[in-house]
Amino acid sequence: MDKLTHFNKEGRAKMVDVSGKPETVRTAVARSSIEVNDHIYELIANQQVKKGDVLAVAQVAGIMAAKKTWEIIPMCHPIPIKGINFSFDWKEGSENNKILEITAEVKTIGNTGVEMEALTAVSAAALTVYDMCKAVDKGMVIGPTFLMEKTGGVSSKDYHRETE
């Protein structure tokens, strides 16, 4: 089993030293979702939410959050993100609900990965959808949120989630 890297010899939290690692192309893909009722789905799909274009705002929020991950997750490094791409896909949910799947791919050239940035991006996007639609229904459900894949680094330990 791999040991946890964010603890020093005294068992206290630390930021991992990545200064000796070479820079490589690194990518991460994460997904989250939010389940909404049919009425909210119709409002979003027809761009009738009073606060504006929900998916466009959620995408911008996700991008901004990815770039600020190091400011809100204590042990994350500031990373020069080279690209972020979002996709949104509607699925059938329980009863008369719809599920909005939110996927983000984050890319950098650096000496540490961008998994946390991708996870932060989709989380912020889902929270933004909630925020923009909560006046209609506060019963929306966010999640699950998970890493789908990560590539890059010198260890050749790429990760691809077995099931979605």
Task: Find residue 34's DSSP bridge partners.
Answer: 100, 142
Q: Which residues are catalytic?
A: 131
Q: What residue type is assigned to position 110 of the chain?
A: G
Query: What whole-number distance in Å separates Cα of residue 125 and Cα of residue 119?
Result: 10
CA distances for 44 relative to 17, 51, 67, 88, 113, angstroms:
44, 11, 26, 12, 33
The pair of structure tokens assigned to 43 is 């409002």
Query: What whole-number distance in Å separates Cα of residue 79 and Cα of residue 84?
Result: 13
Direct distance between the N- and C-terminal alpha carbons of the chain, in angstroms, rounded to an integer: 24
